[in-house]
Structure 1
């Protein structure tokens, strides 16, 4: 594909373009797509008409946001989803695919011409790049413009009623009479309505925040602007950060919107507010957006982002199986994928949740997707955990597909009897590791135990088959071709820590069920930690979780367990914590364990009696909230919300704690709490903090408005903003909490 001018492509996207949507069930749908003038949203219509009244869906559902796109690319026929009738698609370069950040199904679109598909891909990629590089000033301008254009009239203006509706959508509640007064004040050309510049000024006026103004006045001696030396004082005293005059000048250059003040090298209240709302002043330390940890230690020294039943998009009984599950997990930095493999038709193995009504997806299609997406989010190794229920013939097909599709990316480091430690993530960059049983040397084909696979499938039928086989353990025949792909991740049954010390090698990995793991963590935490210094351990959920709910991962991380397999398709508190832990270290899916959980000379029992030398106290003051969204289904406008904040700490058992603010009635736009909290930490290196904003409801469970999780080790001290995410991990900007953090 030749280089295309991104902005020209964006312009061409603003014209209605006929395309064909291709679904997994082989059906095709004629659509017309275009980019709205706000350059944020792509809208579509059904059929050949552009009249919204002719479509089945309500208008607000007939669009998708550019910010929700994870990747867009020209499709190859072999990469389209498995149920598409590949023979009916003419010309692969006329087709492009969009994968989303959230649970939205992937979109395959066929254009009339190759150049049209290329222009759309180039245009979307141009917009995505622009979003990644924009400043907070640009972002705010874009955000205000987006809402303005959604509500403006035919004259490109907002009258009083329109302005009130737009402000409510922005979670700003204000009386219409007040809006009329503002319009009279700002409406310079006396049209009775606001243009974009006037509306922007209106927004700036109503979103002024007293708590930030008080902080500004504390350091801006003249009460008007903050000079460089005053900004240095603010950082040293409040933010616990050393920054010199040159660094402060760069901040003023970046965040001061007034060009005249920028020339004088001073910061206004507006610039100071923008700075505090920016990534630089986020509670999360954004230097941790890059890989900053030592990646040369053995694999057993890292926590590894791990998924369970990766192929499922919903529940474990009737939900669909799809390669999209693997794409979504990989794009979130997941490095450990599960593939439940069963015999399929025509000699082609399939992946699905055996003995259930979940749909099936071809193993080959999943491997193709993994081949494409394995290293998009992270260069470090990916594990393929094969739960093998296939016949020998189809096991050979499994092996052939992996060899043919993954090729040189398959890990080929031999597992030798003199191996003292596992290789490092750095050594295994770009490699895919197969986890499975392995035949003994010089054996062409043999029986291996089916006990672990039966337990991990969570299928009652398979488990009962194993339990009722009294004469001998159930076994399956393992093909040499599949066995040969297994090297540094050979699955073995876990009997005891003593057995593992005497018999196991570093390349052996055991899978332990949630219930059994709970007992081991409680009674033998120190032994568990010593075990995981040398070997990998996978913890998988009990079979009772048919709704794909998740176990509490921090319980097992505290015992050094590297692989805690969670359902990535399930938004929940546990997934928030999982993504919070792996938010650090460049989201690469590998987090170096605390030294005490790696050092062979240290004997630590995290269940109790942790030495005093590790202890610290985390103090958090929840000051205020800003433009909190209204939970779905409750109408629009932030004032309808009765918010409170829950702060939870997770880690070793002694550190797990929770505190909360009072409820602020009828104010989601700018609630103020000023609530002090204190959390003694016995082992802060392993502690996570989860902020959750909830809507108070006396009649039922309080609904989550927004949340954010991060490790204590990635928290910045001082006055910080917590930029909230939805339960589905969507960015809720500008919704945020304003807090103060200290770690003593």
Structure 2
């Protein structure tokens, strides 16, 4: 049932409507005025519940007048992968899906074409991948290939059979226009290096991005390039990008990196920003001194973010040609050493840190990390050993001020639910809280946000059209409040990139009545917590199917940033396990009180 149009309501919801309209005090929660006739009141309440006005998620009006470093950005890691990190399939459809879901930063790992004369591994020093993590990926990949009898991933002449019923077809349709010309030379490939993942062409990826970049939002799209190609293949990359993205590119216009200031979000509508490692033309071919190479890592492997456990080794000259490096106008990738390095003062630099590295930096000097992220861009990505495409918890890294927290979008999990809550209805860019913006005087996370004593109660009334129609369901609701904990605020470590147990508070209902439209009988989900920062706290709802003989299954879910959770009689729209909004809903009554301390 489409709850915004249909007049067909479940018996449980109709009973609650009658109860509410029989109580005159409830009418104030509808329109703030009394209605004499109960039938009229019931009709008015049903009309209200059928409208967007009843949504538990408050709408947001975007202020696009600030520099782009003042926003959080919905971001994807290893966007090309459909499945896990070792043997999943690369697919252009993966780019289409994340862009349609509101992602505003995608990643492309680019490698030499098969007939190239160069050794692609020599160029891996110009990628973002953490060198220590990359070494772990190589080890895991070698074990996997040995186990299944593979020594090298080869190109497919036709698309593989989908790995699952939901696996996407390969690129076609609107993007085919960019692929019709005859290719006279070998072009770069997109794949996950040192693994058995299946590849796709760089041109096909660029064509898909062109076709879907602004399908759901006209706000800028950042394309993060992981470059593992030789100079000749890089020139082909430049040619392809200019061929397919010309109307959307930001040009350098002879402005040097030292003079560039970050523009406002408004000025970049319908623009594609290329993030690529930058080396100044005059020093591109020079060795600049010793560099660090992690122990036990591949000596040919490197990144902008290196492990602190390192040894000195001669640095190779940059492998990024000037034509490609200069395309990174406002998003120039720079290798991170510390916050005192010269590049850290350039307005258009981007530091990329793995979740392990940023946790280390937060513990070492959380104030310096916070101050950097108020003015400059930072990207955080999952550590390489997450080969199953699991995720870091994005909330602590947003609270550290990182704008680009890149997630694996392949599966729905707590991280992708929080990401949906952060960016729902925003076009993929969210203005940071005042204390996190470049003009504010706050020097650390603890002083940047107002905190207060939270008293939150969700009265769970009934459900409507939840889950598949063909299955007999026994539903209950599990709710979690995602908050800061003291370890995070004080600059302590976060285990596995996620929150400590203090950072999650849970509440669970008993079973509702059997079926897709259960009566939950006014059960209460309650949270009473001190020191809550509403703007970066999240509440998550999971509708579970009770299974007597095996693990309970997730049927539907919803997630909210606490500051956008509205009070009163509300409907919570539910999403399925593919991340798509359904016709399902929960009818609730919400009470929220936050006393600022």
TM bucket by the smaller chain? 0.7 to 0.9
Give the match's secondary structure for 1:548: coil
Q: 1:648·1:691 contact (CA, 8 Å) conserved in 2?
A: no
Aligned partner of 1:659 in structure 2 is: 506
Verify: 1:284 aligned to 2:57, yes or no.
yes
| 2:175 aligned partner | none
The reply to whether residue 217 of structure 1 matches residue 22 of structure 2 is yes
Name the CA shift for 1:649/1:135 in 2 (closer, same or farther; >3 Å).
closer
Between the aligned partners of 2:9 and 2:375, the Cα distance in structure 1 is 56
Query: Which protein is richer in helix relative to its size?
Result: 1
Out of 399, 405, 409, the position equivalent to 1:564 is 405
* 3-state SS of paired residue (2:519): coil
- For 1:235-634, what aligned pairs fall within 5 Å after superposition? 235=30, 267-285=40-58, 287-288=59-60, 292-345=61-114, 346-413=185-252, 416=256, 418-419=258-259, 421-442=261-282, 463=301, 471-499=313-341, 503-585=344-426, 588-606=427-445, 613-627=450-464, 629=466
- C-alpha distance 305-205 of structure 1, shift in aligned 2 (>3 A): closer
- Post-superposition Cα deviations, 1:347-383, rounded to whole Å, max 9, x if no partner, equal 2001000121111111111111111111111111111
Give the TM-score taking structure 1 as reference length. Answer: 0.61
Higher RCO structure, 1 or 2 (CA under 8 Å, sep 6+): 2
How far apart, CA to CA, are the structure 2 residues paired with 1:728 and 1:540?
22
Judged with a 3 Å threshold, the aligned counterparts in structure 2 of structure 1 residues 650 and 732 are, in CA distance, closer, same or farther, namely farther
Counterpart position of 2:472: 637
* 3-state SS of paired residue (2:85): coil
| Contact kept in structure 2, 1:331 and 1:376, CA below 8 Å | yes
- SS of aligned partner of 1:340: strand
Structure 1 unmatched ranges of 5 or more: 1-39, 41-133, 142-202, 221-229, 237-242, 249-260
Q: Is the 8 Å Cα contact of residues 381 and 433 (structure 1) preserved in structure 2?
A: yes
Change in Cα spacing, 1:630 to 1:724, as seen in structure 2 (3 Å) is closer
Cα distance in structure 2, aligned partners of 1:619 and 1:402: 50
| 1:62-95 per-position Cα deviation (integer Å, ceiling 9, x unaligned) | xxxxxxxxxxxxxxxxxxxxxxxxxxxxxxxxxx
> Counterparts of 1:495 and 1:384 in 2: how far apart (Å)?
23
1:23 is matched with none
Distance (whole Å) between structure 2 residues aligned to residue 316 and residue 581 of structure 1: 26
| Alpha-carbon spacing, 1:662–1:371, altered in 2? closer, same or farther (3 Å) | closer
- Offset at residue 659 of structure 1 (A): 2.7
CA distance in 1, matches of 2:3, 2:299: 56
**1:397 shift after superposition:** 0.1
Question: Hey, what's the Cα distance between the residues in 2 that align with 1:274 and 1:450?
Answer: 69
Alignment check: 8 A CA contact 1:487 1:507 kept: yes
Cα deviation, residue 135, structure 1:
8.2
In structure 1, C-alpha distance between the alignment counterparts of 2:57 and 2:324, rounded to whole Å: 43
> What is the aligned-residue RMSD (CA, Å)?
3.5
CA distance in 2, matches of 1:372, 1:205: 41
Q: Does 2:571 match 1:724?
A: no
CA distance in 1, matches of 2:75, 2:506: 29
Shift of 1:714: 1.6
Q: Distance in 2 between matches of 1:700 and 1:135?
A: 32
> Which structure has the larger Rg?
1
Q: Structure 2: how far apart are the matches of 1:448 and 1:333?
A: 40
1:691–1:707 contact (8 Å) kept in structure 2: yes
Distance 1:470 1:461, change over 3 A: closer
State the Cα distance separating 1:446 from its structure 2 match. 6.3
Alpha carbons of structure 1 residues 520 and 625: separation in structure 2 relative to 1, 3 Å:
farther
What per-residue deviation string (whole Å, max 9, x for no partner) do you get for residues 37-63 of structure 1? xxx9xxxxxxxxxxxxxxxxxxxxxxx
For 1:693-724, what per-residue CA distance to the aligned partner results, in whole angstroms no more than 9, with x for missing partners? Answer: 22344654432221111212222111212121
Q: Distance in 2 between matches of 1:398 and 1:204?
A: 55
1: distance between equivalents of 2:231 and 2:57?
50
Kindly indicate whether the alpha-carbon contact (under 8 Å) linking 2:513 and 2:519 is maintained by their aligned counterparts in 1.
no
Contact 1:659 1:677 in 2 (8 A): no
SS at match of 1:602: coil
Shift of 1:525: 2.5
1:87-120 Cα shifts (integer Å, max 9, x gaps): xxxxxxxxxxxxxxxxxxxxxxxxxxxxxxxxxx
Q: Name 2:119's counterpart in structure 1.
A: none
Task: Give secondary structure in 1 for the equivalent of 2:263.
Answer: coil
Distance 1:212 1:728, change over 3 A: same
- Taking a change above 3 Å as real, the CA distance of residues 506 and 449 of structure 1, as seen in their structure-2 partners, is farther
Deviation string 1:214-246 (CA, Å, 9 cap, x unpaired) is 2111128xxxxxxxxx84x3347xxxxxx689x
1:607-652 per-residue CA deviation (whole Å, 9 max, x = no partner) reads x5777x54252412232231364579xx6234xx152332323456
d(CA) in 2 for partners of 1:560, 1:479: 32
**How far, CA to CA, are the matches of 2:366 and 2:539 in structure 1?**
23
2:340 aligns to what SS in structure 1? helix
- Matched residue SS, 1:318: coil
In structure 2, distance between residues paired with 1:531 and 1:394:
35
Partner of 2:527: 678
1:136 corresponding residue in structure 2 = 4
Do the aligned partners of 1:379 and 1:429 also contact (CA within 8 Å) in 2? yes
Question: Relative to structure 1, is the Cα distance of residues 550 and 294 closer, same or farther in structure 2, using a 3 angstrom cutoff?
Answer: same
Superposed CA offset, 1:680-702 (max 9, x none):
35321212221112234465443
Distance 1:265 1:694 in 2: 35
Deviation at 1:435, TM superposition (A): 1.1
Q: Deviations over 1:175-205 (max 9, x none)?
A: xxxxxxxxxxxxxxxxxxxxxxxxxxxx657
**In the TM superposition, what is the alpha-carbon distance from 1:574 to its structure 2 partner?**
0.5
Compared with structure 1, are the counterparts of its residues 558 and 727 closer, same or farther at alpha carbon in structure 2 (3 Å cutoff)?
same
CA contact (8 A) 1:277 1:721 kept: no
| Secondary structure of the structure 2 residue equivalent to 1:325 | helix
Give SS of 1:273's match.
helix
